[in-house]
Structures are given as structure tokens and as C-alpha cells.
A and B are shown apart, each in its own frame.
Chain A
Amino acid sequence: MQTVDTPILAANASAATLTRLAEIQRLAKAAVDKPAALGPDVDVTRFRTVSEHQSVDSLASLEKQVRETALTSGFTTDESERSGSYFQMDRTAIYERVAAAFGGAIEIMGTGEALQRYPDEMAERFWWRAVAPDKDKYTALVALHQTEGYFVRVKAGQRVEKPIQACLFISESDVSQNLHNVIVVEDGAEANIITGCNISTGVKEGLHAGISEFFIGKGAKLTFTMVHNWDKEFSVRPRTTAVVGDDGIFISNYVLLKPVRSIQAFPVARLEGERSRAVFTTIVCGLEDSIIDLGTETQLIGVGSRSEAVARTVSRDHSVVYSRGRLIARTNDCKAHLDCRGIVQSDTSTQWAIPDLESEGAPGAELSHEAAISPIAAEEVYYLMSRGVPKDEAVSMITRGFLNLEIPGLPAALKKRIDEAIEETSRESM
């Protein structure tokens, strides 16, 4: 296990910032053994932190295998359709670039650099402001032994249509990658961010712990799509909170179609602003021995806030899948709906659908949910068969349709990727 990590240097930081950073360290240290509320416990002391790498001048110079793996999560080395890119190999931001056309609109850098450049602003407004450093041992791990992460800021009023892409890559075995990401979409700005997390072929055990703090300003909109490609010996513990201002919109899409040892995440949308909105879409296929515990939480705080969360889960092999949804209403005028549906496709896999609605002194709040776990209906299969489709293809077609939600704000290329991955997954199941 890592013993000493370089402390974050904030040479020009104010006394208040230094005090705050010390406080974060103190809180984290007190939580290093604090298990998470959900998910199997991971012994974080077994892993060393990921290594340093040299920067690259162009994405084209990445190894072919790395490029191809990254592409499966929507990260393209042909940047013509992207407004900016961030590529992190293990612990090093090896490539950060903003397309010339968006030079004044977007900032992309490692969070280490952001702390150097804007220590006071980071500490005061963003750094551990949405996620608590002492939430559990994984937040503590990141706070004490951080290995980069990205900082993306879209400036006020800038509507960046082309996606910004980020890839977080792990090339070594028996390591933990402890990321801290910050995304700031300032007032009136709009951004579409695609993040892929990948590991090299052949990488065995490891841990990916990732803190993501999103700040969506007044009238701003963030579409955040995350595609995960792990492997069966990898444990994943993301901790995410998005804070949304007046009339702000947070759209979160999450796709997991590959095996993983275990993943546990429960991202939060904190709808503080009036008329703020959150839309969560989660698509999961549990394979092999994966333990997948995923949920979304929306806190409806601002007057007129709205949210919708949709999850589709398919489980196969020996996988265990928890699909959770939590809605917390703290204002009278708010409305939210959860929709989680699952299909269990093997008699050795298990699924839980756990909707959880809470109205805290908000008699006018309207919270609702639909949760269902049911097999593919035989009559639907027969229906397609009556059109000449063989049984296995009919099942695959229905599974594909079930998982293939219309994901809002998805670029065509990534949609195609996800369609292909679903297609592949559906076929492999036959």
C-alpha cells in the first residue's frame, strides 16, 4: 500500500485554503477504515497507487491497443468531433487539449494543476464541497492518496455542442487509481462530456476509486455520459455528486456492459436551484460473477425541481445486480419519478430493485416509482418467431430493445458504439 503521497501543493494559497486542505486530510484520515454503507468491502491496503507516465503530443501516438480500448467507451483519437480531450494513463494526465475553436470557452487540465492555478477558488467552491472526504474509506483513500483526475470548466454562456471527452486508463495490475474529477459548467453554459474508464488487456486485479464533483450553474446544462469497461478482477467505487443551480439541468447516462468484480456507486443529484432538473439513465448488463450495486439519488430542494431516473438491468451467469433509486423531496413543489426494470436471464443470477422515496416535510411533493423484475414474455418471443425470427435471435432482439434506451444527448458515434456493445452482449448470451 502507498505510504507517502505528494501533498497537494498550493504555494500561493491563502491561509483559509491551507486550513481547509488540512481539514480535508484530517477528516479523511479519520475515515480510512470506514466501510461503505453498501457493496462488498474492498481491502484497499492491498493495492499500490498507479504509476507515472510521460505525456504524449498527440492521441495518435498512443499504442494501438490503448486507442482501441478507449474507443469502446466512446473516446476517439480522431478529435474532429470533439471540443476537447483529456487522457489519463494510470496517474498521469498524459494529454489535455482544447480544440482551437473552443479556446476561450473551455478549460481542461488535471485537478492537480487546477489546485495549483486556482487554489482558493477550488478550496472554497469545488474541492470536496459536493462529496464529503470522510464519507467512507474510498473517499478517504482518494483524499489522502489522490492520483489526479480531470478538471473541466465551461465558461459562462458558452454552449459547447461537440462533446468533451475524457478517458481514464489503467495499464497495470494490483493498483488503485484514486481519481478526483471536478466539472464546472458556469451560468448559462452547456456541455456534453463523455467519460470512459478502461483497463489494458491483461490487467488483473485493481481498484478504481473516483470522486466526481459537478457544479452546474444557473440555466446551465451538463450531459454526462460514462461508459465503463472493466474486467472480472476489478473493483470500482465511484462517488459522485452534482449540484444544480436555478434552471440548471443535469443529464447523467451510465453504461456498464462488461464484467467487473464489484462496483458500488450511488451518484447524487442535488437539485438546489429553482426549477432545476435531473435525468438519470442507467443501462447495466451483469455478466459472469459481477457484483453490481448501482443507484441514483435525487435531492429535490429547489422550488419546482423535477427529476426522472430510468434503469434497465439484465443479469446473467452468476451475477448479482442491485438497482436502487432514491428520491428525497425537501420542497413542496417538486416532482420525480423512478423507473427500474430488470430481466434475470440465468437461474444463478440475482437481482434486486429497490426504489426508495422520501418526503421530508414536503406535503405537496409528488414522488412515484415503477419497479419490475420479470422475464421476457414468451408471447413476445413467439410473436417475433411468427415473423420468421429464430428463437435465440428473438430473445436477443428483445433484450437489445430492453437495454437500448433512447439516451438523451448522446452523440451519434457513441450511440452506435453502445448499440454495438449491446448487440454483442445480447448475442453472446445466446
Chain B
Amino acid sequence: MADTPIPLLSIEGVRVRIGEREVLKGIDLSIAHGETHVLLGPNGSGKTTLLNAILGMPGYDVVEGGISFRGVDLLPLSIDERARLGIGIAFQRPPAVRGVKLRQVMAAAAGGELAEERLSEISEELELDEMLDRDVNMGFSGGEAKRSEMGQLLAQRPALALFDEPESGVDLDNIAVVGGAIQHLLRGAAASDPRRAGLIITHTGNILRYVNADVGHVLYEGRIACNGNPLDLIADIGRQGYERCVECATCKQ
């Protein structure tokens, strides 16, 4: 893992319980400014739980360890306070909110107001025109939901963006659009744009055809079992599956 002296996000020895069940059993993870990390792992390994713990979702109890962002202890902060500090998320299955329009949520994500020009840029990139005045996620197709999530992140421009399976349930055309937007967000659309940090949960690694990632991690049974080059990890997992992958000598070191 690329340790930096002042990481943007620092997770140390985190254990998370959902009810009585301990899902994360001691996680250490550090993400520096502008770095893109990929989180791999089989179903039930705790990937989404880790994102929810970073976000501060109720029900995900951090019973041990700490999470800090820009040196600020996140654990006492509410979801919205964390968001305003610069943490954003594209959910895998966002809930529909009756009566609240995508346009409103994008404005809220931008801090209350989103300049018309910026809105049209985002809307054009993600083909959101028809969706802006619909109730957010109400009857959205898989691809629409992902594009809407990306639109909200582009409006928010967080320093750290979390992506929960951005390629699941969408066709190839939509993966390209969503992947392009992730790359823009993280690597900057223009030279003047700052790079942003990202943590991407992916099953298939398909999204990495569009996004350049720096570091990969394999989460297995509540622990980070392996770190390395994301493309190499995906190739290994593809060849021998998660169980064999986490047994390999490199990761055991």
C-alpha cells in the first residue's frame, strides 16, 4: 500500500459490527490525495460494509479502531457532516425518493446551488436531460440510476469518491459513459482540475477498462488479504478464484 505522510483517508484497525455479527475484523487502509484504489472481494466479504462505515451509515457500528479524513476523526460525525467534509458516494442501489427531483439532489450535493452552466455540462456528459425533473431513482433503469449517481457526484466534486459496483446491472454503453465520468471526476477533465481520490468496489474489474486505478485490495472474510496492482489482482482472481488468490505467497507476507 502506498503510505503517505498525510493520507486523505486513514482507516486503522477498524472492526465493524452489524447487530451482533462482526463483518469487518480489523481493516487498515490508507488513501492519499488523488489516488484511485480498487476494492475486490467475493460476495459477503464486507466491501459495502466498509463503504457504509466510511459514510457513517447507522447500523454499521465501528466497535474498534478509527477512521479519519484529512486528519479529522470521522466517527463522531453524521453522514451529512462527512459529505460536507468531502466524501461522496455512488450507491449501487440508491433508493427512490418520491417528489424529490434529481435536479434538486444535484443542487443539494453542490452545496445548495448548482450553476446552470455546470448542470448542463454534467447533464450532457451523462445524458441526464430527460431525468433531471423526474423523482430521483423512481423507475430509473439500471443505467439511468448509475448515471444519476455519477451526476450527483460530479455536482458534489468530493475529495474522496466511493463507488459501489459502478458497473453492476448496466449494459456496455452505460459502463462506458459511467466509466468515462469516473475517470473525469478522479483524474480531472481539464489539466487545471485537481485529481480526486477514489475507492471503487468492483466484482468484474470491467470498469478498469475506463478508469486508471493505482492500488488494489482484496477483502476476504472481513480482512484485507492482499494488496497490489489492481489489474494483476483481477487477472489472478480470474485465473484461480478468491480462495486461491488470498493463499498466494505474496499476499501472505
A388 and B97 in contact (CB under 8 A), knowing A382-B79, A383-B91? no
Query: Is B152 at the interface (CB under 8 A from chain A)?
Result: yes
B contact face: mostly helix, strand, loop, or mixed: mixed
A401 touching B95, Cβ below 8 Å: no
- Give the CA-CA distance A380 to B100 in the complex, in Å: 10
Residues of chain A from 349 to 386 with CB closer than 8 A to chain B in the complex: 377-380, 382-386
Q: Which residues of A contact B83 (CB under 8 A)?
A: 385-388
Docked Cα-Cα span, A394 to B80, in Å, equals: 10
Closest Cβ of chain B to A414, distance in Å, is 19
Choose among B97, B101, B104, B156 the residue with the greatest number of A CB atoms under 10 Å from its CB: B97
Q: How many A-B residue pairs have CB under 8 A?
A: 69
Taking A378-B58, A385-B80, A390-B80 as contacts, is the C-beta distance between A401 and B152 under 8 angstroms?
Answer: no
Report Cα–Cα, A257/B116, bound state, in Å: 32
B78 CB within 8 Å of chain A: yes
Min CB gap B60→A, angstroms: 11
Does A413 make an interface contact (CB < 8 A)?
A: no
List residues 16-62 of chain A with CB under 8 A from any CB of chain B.
none
Cβ-defined contact, B100 with A401, below 8 A: yes
Q: Which residues from chain A contact B99 at a C-beta distance below 8 Å?
A: 398, 400-405
Tell me which residues across on chain A come within 8 A of B108, comparing CB atoms: 384, 387-389, 397
Residues of the B chain whose Cβ atoms lie less than 8 Å from the Cβ of A402: 98-99
The CA of A401 and the CA of B135, in the complex, are separated in Å by 9
Identify B95's interface contact among A383, A385, A391, A403, CB under 8 A.
A383
Of the four ranges (under 10, 10 to 19, 20 to 34, 35 or more), the interface on chain A belongs to: 20 to 34
User: Given A382-B57, A382-B58, A382-B79, do A388 and B84 touch, yes or no (CB 8 Å)?
Assistant: yes
Distance (whole angstroms) from the CB of A371 to the closest CB of chain B: 15
Size class of the contact patch on chain B: 20 to 34
Residue among B78, B88, B100, B105 with max Cβ neighbours from chain A (10 Å): B100
| Assembled-state Cα–Cα distance A402/B97 (Å) | 9
Show 15 residue pairs from A and B whose CB-CB distance is below 8 angstroms, ordered by the A residue: A377-B95, A379-B95, A380-B96, A382-B57, A384-B100, A385-B78, A385-B80, A386-B55, A386-B89, A387-B156, A388-B108, A390-B78, A390-B80, A398-B98, A402-B99
Could you tell me which A residues sit within 8 Å of B by CB distance? Answer: 377-380, 382-391, 394, 397-398, 400-405
Given contacts A387-B105, A387-B156, 16 further A-B contacts (CB under 8 A): A383-B97, A384-B105, A385-B78, A387-B80, A387-B108, A388-B80, A388-B83, A389-B80, A390-B78, A397-B104, A397-B108, A401-B97, A401-B100, A401-B135, A402-B98, A402-B99
* B residues in contact (CB < 8 Å) with A: 55, 57-58, 78-80, 83-84, 88-89, 91, 94-101, 104-105, 108-109, 111, 135, 152, 156
